[in-house]
Structure 1
């Protein structure tokens, strides 16, 4: 797939969420993407930090995006995340997602989150189910 085709597949796969209003794919190639997302008021927990659910959803969304670079519809089958450092309003989260293994029906992806200073915020692993296209 060309980069343009990969970006079109990603756009069709990802439903916009209010808390991801600034999500941007900045690099896209087969099996790898880099994206950025600002920490906004919509992504905060009651303590003023980026909500763990928001960080998880960001990882999950980007895992789906990286799997889309193969031109295959997909859904999350299994996932796990380790939170390492918090993010605050005004931070920009950089997401590095890469496929570690792609088989016939599953793909295993590694997703890492960093802040604008390059500090590791979280690591996650996703097993994605590769759906067959109808017809």
Structure 2
């Protein structure tokens, strides 16, 4: 039986380390729950300050957690990548106290473009939003 390779890829290890000190994640209280090559899971607890004039969660908050999962998923495969396009469909509203869980999955990782799909659910598994995004590599 072949030995299982349990090493963590460099990109994943670097991102997990960076996630501990990321300013936007700290500001919005987002937590990286899981990271594997091409996959990420991020959680954001919806606060009363995240509500709009209708008493529902501001769409930008839902988009932020989806974008965070997007960035982690794509950059876990190839770094550094930045968003060139992001599209989101809001399906159901979130409320204060909800835990929004965003999962990002890379569907294509190429030299010139990468594409990912994201889902955002609440703590009960209710679908809140679906998103897609495209990234391009940059040099640092």
Shorter-chain TM-score category?
0.7 to 0.9
**Structure 2: runs of 5+ lacking an equivalent:** 1-8
Q: Paired residue for 1:58?
A: 65
- 1:107 Cα deviation from its structure 2 partner: 0.8
Counterpart Cα distance in 2 of 1:54 and 1:67? 20
Q: Deviations over 1:47-70 (max 9, x none)?
A: 121111111122122211212212
How many aligned positions are there?
131
- 1:73 Cα deviation from its structure 2 partner: 1.5
Q: CA RMSD in A?
A: 2.0
Q: Deviations over 1:26-46 (max 9, x none)?
A: 111000011111011232111
Q: Paired residue for 1:7?
A: 16
**What TM-score does the superposition give when structure 2 sets the normalisation length?**
0.83
**CA shift in 2, pair 1:7/1:89, >3 Å:** same
**Structure 1: runs of 5+ lacking an equivalent:** none
2:31 aligns with one of 24, 27, 39: 24
**What TM-score does the superposition give when structure 1 sets the normalisation length?**
0.86
1:89-128 to structure 2, matched below 5 A, reads 89-128=96-135
- 1:71 Cα deviation from its structure 2 partner: 4.7
Asked whether 1:33 is paired with 2:40, we answer: yes
Larger Rg: 2
Q: CA contact under 8 A between 1:18 and 1:42: conserved in structure 2?
A: no
Which of structure 1's runs of 4+ aligned residues deviate more than 3 A?
9-12
